[in-house]
Amino acid sequence: MPGLGASFGRGGATGDLQDLSNADVIVIQGSNMAECHPVGFQWVMEAKARGAKVIHIDPRFTRTSALADSYVPIRSGTDIVLLGAIINRVLTQERDFREYVLAYTNASWLVSEDFEGPEDLDGLFSGFDSDTRSYDTASWQYAGAEEDGDEQEETAESTESESGHAMGAGGASVDHESIRRDETLQDPRTVWQVMKRHFSRYTPEMVQEVCGIPTDLFEEVAEAWITNSGREKTGVLVYSVGWTQRGTGVQYIRAGAILQLLLGNMGRPGGGVMALRGHASIQGSTDIPTLYNLLPGYLQMPHATRHPSLAAYVDAIKGANQKGFWGNADAYTVSLLKAYFGDAATAENDYLFDALPKIDGDHGTYGQVMDMIEGGKIFGYFLLGQNPAVGSANGRAQRLGMANLDWLVVRDLVMIESATFWKDAPEVETGEIVPEQCRTEVFFLPAASHVEKEGTFTQTQRLLQWREKAVNPPGDCRSELWFFYHLGRRMREKLSGSTDPRDRLLLDVTWDYPVHGEEQEPSSADVLREINGYDLTSGELVPGFTALKADGSTSSGCWIYSGVYADDVNQAARRKPGREQSLHAPEWGWAWPMNRRVLYNRASADPEGRPWSERKALVWWDEDAGRWVGDDVPDFEVTKPPSYRPPEGATGVAAIAGDDPFIMQSDGKGWLYAPKGVVDGPLPAHYEPAESPFRNTVYTQQQNPARELYTNHLNQVHPSPPERGSEVFPFVWVTSRLTEHHTAGGMSRYLPYLAELQPALFMEVSPELAALRGLEHLGWAHAVTARAVVEARVLVTDRLAPLRVQDREVHQIWMPYHWGAGGLTTGDVVNDLAHLTLDPNVHIQEFKAGTCDVQPGRRPRGAAVLDLIDAYRVRGGVTMSSGSVAVTAELLHPDGKDRGEQAMAGATGTGTGHRAEDMEKVLSVRHDIRSRPGDPQQHGVPAVVIDDDPDTSLEGS
Amino acid sequence: MVPRTVSPNSFSGRLDDPAGNAGYDAPPPRKGFFTDTSVCIGCKACEVACKEWNMVPEDGIDLLGMSYDNTGGLGADSWRAVAFVEQSRPVGNVTGPFAGAATGGTSEALQQETVAAGLDVFEEASRLGTGLPEGRPVADLAAAATGAPGAQGDGCGCGAGGGGCGSAPPAPAGTATAPERSGQFLGMPGMLAPAPLPDREGRQDVRWLMMSNVCKHCTHAGCLDVCPTGALFRTEFGTVVVQQDVCNGCGYCVSACPYGVIDKREGDGRAWKCTLCYDRLGADETPACAKACPTESIQYGDLDELRERAEARRRQLHDVGVTEARLYGEDPDDGVGGDGAFFLLLDDPEVYGLPPDPVVPTRDLPSMYRHMAVAAGAMVLGALVSGLGRRS
C-alpha cells in the first residue's frame, strides 16, 4: 500500500479496530465496512453509541449506509475532488492543527524550483514523457535535492516495476540533511503553499459538478470532519478496496492521508487511516509476500541489473543520509539470507545474494496473463487460493490465457471454475475454447481449509493470530505448508548431486522442518520460529528486529515479524480476553512491529512529549522514568527523549530526532507532499476513471496519464470524452461483494447455508434507470461492455439514485461478482466486464468505475454474444487505441503525431515490455473466432475520433 | 416444597415466573433475547450460526426480491430470519441522503412519463427538499414517532405516501393523492419493487431497516397450550421447546402461534422452531445466534435485565433524536403476557412483518367455556322443556 507507505512510512492500517471506538468522527469512504468487515464494524457501532458521527460516502446506499449518521452519494471515481475540496477548505481557512502540522509534517519543507504541477501544466506534473507514459521525478524533489530523483522512476520501465510496493514498510529515501524549510509557511515553494495552489480549484461547486454531491451535503461532511479533529478531538478515515481497486487508487489514499495529517489525526487515539484489507490474511500475504516484486518484510525484490551485489542492493534501500529504521536494511537482508540458506550463506559468498531470483520488469499477474495469451513465454501455472476465472478483472482474458498453457495446478477446497474452465467457461459456449482441443493439462489438488490446518492469519490491523487445527482434513486434502514442503523435498531429492549453478538456490536452501503425524505435516510453529529469527551464536530466538545483525550472526525470515516468538512463546497464540485488559488488548495475538497497535503513536504527544490533550492521551514521555510510557507500546525508541537532536552526519536510527514520529520516513515526518514513492504525482489530482461518460472538469487531462494499459484485442477500453463513442456506454458500473458470499465464491456458492442467503446474481438499479430501460423487478437484464455481456436478475431499489453531474443525469449500476459456473447457485462472471487498466504504483485493476450499457432481458447465447459485443464496439468506436492516449492535450492538438501511435506509446503490449516488435506481435495475435477478417477492431490501430471532429464520425459504419 | 397447582393466570395475563408456573422448583432466572434492530447490520450471521448449530436444513435457494431477504420469514427450516425493509424515510436524526438537487428525474423520458401520469411537475418540484409527501402534515410524523397506533397518515408510516415505501404495492399512476393511495397498504414487507415514478420526488430519503426475527418464547405460548402430545414444553429457563421424538405432526401449534413462527417441515411432518439453543443453555453457553452477532444486536441474558437494558437503549435513542424507536414484545401485560424474545424497532411492527397486537388464542378459553356452558345449559334446558312439554 504505497499510498500509506509514502505518506507515513508503512503500508499498513495505522491503528487497531478497537481504536475506532475512540473516534469523534468516522468517515467511511471506498468501503462497505458493515458488509465486508462486519466483525470490525462493531467498533464503529461502539463509537456511535459513544456519540461519534459516522459518515458513509459511497455510490450506493449499502448496509453500511443504513447504520451511518449521514450517507453521501457520490459518483464513482471522483473521491479526490471531494477530498481535495475539504483539503482546500482546511488550507484556505487555516483550519489545520497548526502545531502538529509544523512539528510532524513536511509542510514547511521547500520544494524544488523546477517543480510544476497540474495548475501549470493543465493536469500533468512536471517530468512527464508521453512516449513512455511515465514521470521523471527529479523535478518533484525538495529544494537542494534535485539530483536525488528516484533512479527507478526515471525510466519508462519504472512505471511497471517494483517501486510502489516497496513502500510497504518504509518510506522512500531522501537526504534529510539537505532539506530547507520555512516555518512561516510563506515562501511560495513551501509544501504548504504548493498544496494551497494545487488544491485551489477543488471547490464545493466543483464537488457538485463532478461528484454529484450538493454543496450543503459537502458542507456537512467537511465541517463534521474538521470540527471533530484537533487537540481535543480526533477523526478516523476508513477505506477499503473501493479505493484501491482503481487506476488512480494510490492517489485516493494519498488524498485521505494528507487530510488526516493536516487535521492532526495521525498517531492519535481515534485517529488514523484504517485500511481494511480485502480478505483473510491479505495483510499477511503482503508482509510475507505472494507478490513478485517483494521479499519478506517489504524488502524489494533484487533487480537483475540494478543490484549486482548485496552491497549495491542494501545501499539502494538505505539511500544516502537517510533517517529511520531502513538504515538497518543490511541487517534485515543478511538475516533473511541466513534464514533461507543457513550455513551455506557466508560473508565470503555475499550470503548467496546472487542465488536469489531477480526481476527485470513487470512480472505482475496481469502481465503474466497477457504473456499466456500471447503464448511461448509461460508454460505452467500454480493457482492457490485464487479463482481468476471468476475473481480477476477481464475474466475472458484470464480464461483464454489459462487455456494456452501446458500445465496448470489448482489447489482449492472445491472444483472451482479455474479448474474447470476448459469444459464450462463461457468461451466454450462461444466456441473460443474447444474442450477436446484445449491444450492445458489441469491438475486439481484438494486443499485443507483453515480449520483443518494450524498457522497464523495476519488481518487488517497487522495482528497475527494463531489458529489451531480443529479437525483433520478429509481424504487427500492437505495444507499449503504440507504441499510446498514436500514439493521442495522431492525436487531437492531429484536434484541432489547436481552441479548446475541454477540448482544452487534449491540445494542450498534450508529445508529441514520437523514433520509429524501420519501425513508428515511440517510444524507450523517451527516455521513461525524461523520467521521470528535466531541468534545463531547462542541458538536462542531473538527478541525483536532491533537484535538483528548484518554480520551473519542472526537469522530472521521476515524482520517486521521478528518478536512474534520472543521468549520462546508463540506470541500470536495469546488469547487473554479483551475484558481482562485494556482496549488495545496487547496480550491478544501479536501485531507487527513489536506489538505496537497504534502506529506513529509518538505523535499523540506534542513535540515536548506531553499529550496534546488529556482526552486524547496515548503515549507520552515520563521525565522521571526517562522513557516513553502509555497505553500502547511506543512506536519510538523507548528511551530517546523528546529533546534529542541528531549530531551532524548521523544516519539511520541515530538520525531520528526526539520529535520525529514517523520513524520509517527518511526525514521523520509525515508527507503532505511526496517527492518520492508515488510514481504518478507528488500530490493527488483528479482524473476521470479510464472509462467515463464525462469529460474531466478539473483539468484538460482526462485520465491518469501514467496509467498502465495492456493493449490486446481482448482488452479494449471504451472511449471517454473528448473521444466519441462514450454515449454508447452511458452508465457507470461498479462491482463488489456481499456479506453472504466470499470473493470468487469457492467458499460460499458451494455451501447451502450461504447459497440460500443470496441465491442468484443480481443487478441493482434505481427506479429511474428501470423506467428508462424498461427493466422489471426480478426480471432479467444484461450489461454490455466491449469485453463481455453479463446477465443478471434485476433488483430495483431506492438505494440507488441517479446523480446530477455536469447538468446531466448519470445512472450507476451495481453487481456482486461472486458467481460463476459452479456451485449450488450459478451465474455469469461479472468481472468479465472489466478492462485491464492498472494503477501504475501497484498494478491494481479498476473494478469500481467502468462504463456500460444495460438492456432488458437475457443476453444472447453462443457465438451471438460476440456479435452483440462487436456491434457495440462498432457503434462506440472501440478499438485497441480508444481510451488509450496518454496526454489529452496531444489528443486534441496532435501536432502531426499520428493518434494511433500516440495511443500505443508506452502502452504495455505484453507483460515484459513495449518494444515495437512486441507490439506488432500483440497486434497480430488472433483468437480463432475473433479473427474474422473485416472486423474493424482486428485491424491494427484505427484513428481515435474526437468529439469536435465530426467528419470522422463512426456513426453508421 | 408443596407441588403447585396450575395458576389461574396460566392462559393469559401477567405471569412473572412461567417456569415456576409450569411446575419447576426454584428455576433459574428466565432467559431471553433482546434484539436491538437499531444496530443490526443485516449480516445474517445469526441465520447461519443457528443452522450450523441446530443442523437446520437448507430452506430453498430462491431469489425473493424482498430487498436482501431471501429467507422469506421464519419457518420449520429457518429459525432466525433477517427482514430487510427499504423505506423512503429518514432515520430520525439524520440528513436525507438524496435531499437537495443531487438526484431526481429530469431526463426527458422521465418528464414525459411524469406528464403522462397527470402530475404537475412544478407543484411536485415545490415540495423537493421538504421530505414530506403531499397531504402529510408534520404533526403526523410526530405522531408516528411516538408510536401511537393509528396516529399515522398512511399505513406504513414511511412518510412517502403509498408507493414510496420499499415494500408498498405500486399505486396506479396519478389516480389519487398520497393519503388515499396509501389506504390499501398494510405495511407488510412485500416482494414488489420500490416506488413507481409518480412518487420518485418523495425519495428525499432512504433508510434500510433490518431485523433478525425469531421465536418469541411467549409467556403464554399458544403452541404449547394446544399441543395434545406434550411435545411442546416449557423449559426451566422459561423458554418453549419442541421434543421432536414426541411430536406427532398434528399441526395444531402452527395455527395457534399468534406470530406465525412454528411450522411443519416438509417431508418430515413434525413441527420445528427455535429452541433458544436449549442444549447450549444447559451448558451455560450463549445461544448460537447471539454468540455470532458481531454488533450485539442480538443480546442474550436474564429477561429482567434485558428489559432494563432495552428501556435504557430506547431512552438513549430518543435522546439523540431517533424518536421512532420503540420496544416490541417487552410488555408483560400484552396479549401473550410478554415475549421472552423481544425487540427494539424503528417503525411499526407491521413494517417488519410482525403482528401489531398479538394475542394468545387461549386467552379466550375461559370466556369460550363460559359461552359454551351457557349454550350447553340452554340446550339442556331446552331439551328438558321440550321433553317436559311433550310429556305433559
Number of A/B CB contacts below 8 angstroms equals 174
Q: Which residue has the cell 487460493?
A: A385
Cβ <8 Å between B44 and A739: yes
A429: nearest Cα among A437, A421, A441: A421
CA distances from A265 to A6, A219, A222, B313 (A): 17, 20, 15, 31
B152: nearest Cα among B200, B213, B89: B89
Answer whether A189's CB lies under 8 Å from A110's CB: yes
CATH number for the domain harbouring residue A780: 2.40.40.20
pLDDT band for position B110 (cuts 50, 70, 90): very low
Asked whether the predicted pLDDT for residue B116 surpasses 50, the reply is: no
pLDDT band for position B385 (cuts 50, 70, 90): confident
Q: A651: Cβ–Cβ under 8 A, 6 or more apart, which residues?
A: A318, A321, A322, A323, A327
Task: Find residues 717-756 of chain A whose CB sits inside 8 Å of chain B.
Answer: 739-740, 752-756
The answer as to whether A136 is a domain residue is yes
> Which of A359-373, A818-832, B12-26, B311-325 is predicted least confidently?
A359-373
A526: nearest Cα among A343, A355, A341, A339: A339
Asked whether the predicted pLDDT for residue B143 surpasses 90, the reply is: no
Answer whether A828's CB lies under 8 Å from A781's CB: no
- Chain A residues within an 8 Å CB radius of B95: 70, 217, 220
- Shortest distance between the Cα of B374 and any Cα of chain A, in A, equals 53
The answer as to whether A357 is a domain residue is no
Q: A67: Cβ–Cβ under 8 A, 6 or more apart, which residues?
A: A34, A41, A44, A45, A48, A54, B39, B41
A719: nearest Cα among A880, A902, A952: A880
pLDDT digits over A276-293, tens only?
988 888 889 889 998 888
The answer as to whether A644 is a domain residue is no
The answer as to whether A801 is a domain residue is yes
pLDDT digits over B205-218, tens only?
788 999 999 999 99
End-to-end CA distance of chain B: 59
Asked whether the predicted pLDDT for residue A850 surpasses 80, the reply is: yes
CATH number for the domain harbouring residue A68: 3.40.228.10
- Furthest-apart CA pair in chain B: how many Å? 92
Asked whether the predicted pLDDT for residue B10 surpasses 80, the reply is: no
CA distance A229 to A95: 10
Nearest chain B residue to A794, by CA: B65
Mean pLDDT of A105-125: 95
Higher pLDDT, A430 or B80: B80
Question: Of A753-767, B12-26, B163-177, which one has max mean pLDDT?
Answer: A753-767
CA distance A258 to A246: 19
User: What is the residue range of A264's domain?
Assistant: 2-275
Percent of chain B exceeding pLDDT 70 equals 67
Cβ <8 Å between B86 and A753: no
B109 touches chain A (CB under 8 A): yes
Percent of chain A exceeding pLDDT 70 equals 90
Beta strands in A78-227 (DSSP E): 128-129, 134-135
Angle at A867 between CA A862 and CA A870, to 5 degrees: 140
Helix A395-402 × helix A417-424 angle, to 10°: 80
Phi and psi at residue A98, to the nearest 5°:
-60, -45
Answer whether A526's CB lies under 8 Å from A533's CB: no
Q: In chain A, how many domains are there? A: 2
Q: Please state the separation of Cα A382 from the chain's center in Å.
A: 22
Looking at A275, A304, A336, the residue that finishes a domain is A275
Residue from the list B57, B95, B110 with its beta carbon closest to the beta carbon of A220: B95
Mean pLDDT of A622-632: 96
Residue B362 is predicted with a pLDDT of 81
pLDDT digits over A898-922, tens only?
766 676 666 554 433 334 444 444 4
The answer as to whether A635 is a domain residue is no
Asked whether the predicted pLDDT for residue A196 surpasses 80, the reply is: yes
Residue A1 is predicted with a pLDDT of 58
Percent of chain B exceeding pLDDT 90 equals 57
Mean pLDDT of B185-200: 41
How do A70-73 and A25-29 pair as beta strands?
A: unpaired
Answer whether A274's CB lies under 8 Å from A15's CB: yes
Looking at A216, A247, A275, the residue that finishes a domain is A275
Q: Which residue has the cell 510453529?
A: A525
Cβ <8 Å between B44 and A71: no
pLDDT band for position B6 (cuts 50, 70, 90): very low
Angle at A361 between CA A356 and CA A367, to 5 degrees: 110
Higher pLDDT, A121 or A649: A121
Q: B310: Cβ–Cβ under 8 A, 6 or more apart, which residues?
A: B34, B36, B327, B330, B342, B344
A39 touches chain B (CB under 8 A): yes
Cβ <8 Å between A214 and B100: yes
Residue B390 is predicted with a pLDDT of 67
Mean pLDDT of A86-115: 97
The total number of residues written for chain B in this structure: 392
Asked whether the predicted pLDDT for residue B329 surpasses 80, the reply is: yes
A798 touches chain B (CB under 8 A): yes
The answer as to whether A397 is a domain residue is no
Q: What is the 3-state secondary structure (H, E, C) of A311-327?
A: HHHHHHHHCCCCECHHH
Asked whether the predicted pLDDT for residue B189 surpasses 80, the reply is: no
Cβ <8 Å between B70 and A758: yes
Question: What's the pTM value of the predicted model, to 2 decimals?
Answer: 0.88
**DSSP-assigned letter for residue A539:** T
The answer as to whether A137 is a domain residue is yes
Cβ <8 Å between A797 and B86: yes
Residue A943 is predicted with a pLDDT of 42
Structural domains of chain B, with CATH:
25-87+211-359 (3.30.70.20), 108-204 (no CATH)
Residue A899 is predicted with a pLDDT of 66
B100 touches chain A (CB under 8 A): yes
A801 touches chain B (CB under 8 A): yes
Asked whether the predicted pLDDT for residue B187 surpasses 60, the reply is: no
pLDDT band for position A197 (cuts 50, 70, 90): very high
- Chain A residues within an 8 Å CB radius of B68: 63, 758
Percentage helix, strand, coil, to 5, in chain B? 35, 15, 55
Looking at A223, A241, A275, the residue that finishes a domain is A275
pLDDT band for position A326 (cuts 50, 70, 90): confident
The total number of residues written for chain A in this structure: 957
- Chain A residues within an 8 Å CB radius of B67: 797
Task: Find residues 39-78 of chain B whose CB sits inside 8 Å of chain A.
Answer: 39, 41-45, 47-48, 51-52, 57-63, 65, 67-68, 70-71
- Shortest distance between the Cα of A597 and any Cα of chain B, in A, equals 21
Residue from the list A73, A752, A767 with its beta carbon closest to the beta carbon of B194: A767
Alpha helices in B102-217 (DSSP H): 108-116, 121-126, 138-146, 161-164, 178-181
Quote the mean pLDDT of chain A. 88
A35 touches chain B (CB under 8 A): yes
The answer as to whether A211 is a domain residue is yes
Answer whether A407's CB lies under 8 Å from A439's CB: no
Mean pLDDT of A666-685: 93
CA distances from A550 to A171, A334, A535, A558, B277 (A): 21, 6, 12, 14, 58
Q: B255: Cβ–Cβ under 8 A, 6 or more apart, which residues?
A: none
List the single best residue of A798, A799, A825 to mutate versus B (max B Cβ within 10 A). Answer: A798
pLDDT digits over B317-328, tens only?
999 999 999 999
pLDDT digits over A737-794, tens only?
999 999 999 999 999 999 999 999 999 999 889 999 999 999 999 999 999 999 999 9
Residue A906 is predicted with a pLDDT of 63
A98 touches chain B (CB under 8 A): no
C-alpha cell at B76: 420449520
